[in-house]
Amino acid sequence: MSLAESRPQQDCPARGRPRSEAVERAILEGVMKLLEDGVPLADLSIERIARTAGVGKATIYRRWSDKEDLFVDVLRAAEPEDPELPGTSVRDDFVMLLESQRRRGLATRSSAILHNVYAQMKSSPKIWAAYHATVVAPRRRIGREVLRRGLENGELRRDVDIDLLHDMLVGPMLVRSLLRPDAPLEEGLAEQIVDTVLEGLRPVSSPGA
């Protein structure tokens, strides 16, 4: 970053040379603005983004190696932040992880941009792969770490593969938030899913019939 880039960010489009963080924000907001205007991801060139954000193409390439990289950061900026886990039990940690997933689901439903970008991302293997590698995979690693602890301290049955345990805990919320846009994402859902998956779907007291 050159010291010359120290002018405060203008409203829009940014002129001159605003500071580093402000430049970044202007670029991310430029992409969001284009998406809000209905420009498809595939048509978003670095040139067009640069023009909208009022920066040079080189300024963008100094921060992101390519378009896919940039889009992943746009998504990150639009998504709610990932939570700190309490670290007390598989139950408590996964309630937190699923609650965060639920909030992302709600954010996607209420934000036309997020909704639009997710939908388009799925049809772009390159962006999907970038999002997966930098956002989804790290989240999954955190969940696996929680499960590994739970296997060690006896909270979880040991006859099921850790990867499958993970899919069983996150699957129901993922189905609701990603595949069933009309399904309820009500408060308390994270607790209910985690507790029920841990205890099982069989009747709790005495089995009938």
Per CB under 8 A, does 38 bind a second copy?
Answer: no
Is the preceding peptide bond at 203 cis, omega within 30 degrees of 0? no
Query: What is the pattern of x (binds a second copy, CB under 8 A) and - over residues 129-158?
Result: ------------------------xxxxxx
Residue from the set 12, 133, 142, 168 that interacts with a second copy by CB under 8 A: 168
In angstroms, what CA-CA distances link 26 with 55, 78, 98, 138, 207?
9, 14, 31, 27, 60
| Residue closest to 105 by CA, chosen among 169, 184, 197 | 184
Closest contact distance (angstroms) between CB of 75 and a second copy is 15
Cα gap 63→41, rounded to integer Å:
19
Query: What is the pattern of x (binds a second copy, CB under 8 A) and - over residues 91-130?
Result: ----------------------------xx-xx-x-----
In angstroms, what CA-CA distances link 84 with 90, 130, 137, 167?
14, 24, 17, 21
Site for a second copy in 3-32 (CB under 8 A): none
Contacts with a second copy, residue ranges (CB under 8 A): 119-120, 122-123, 125, 153-160, 163-165, 167-176, 178-180, 183, 189, 192-193, 196-204, 207-209
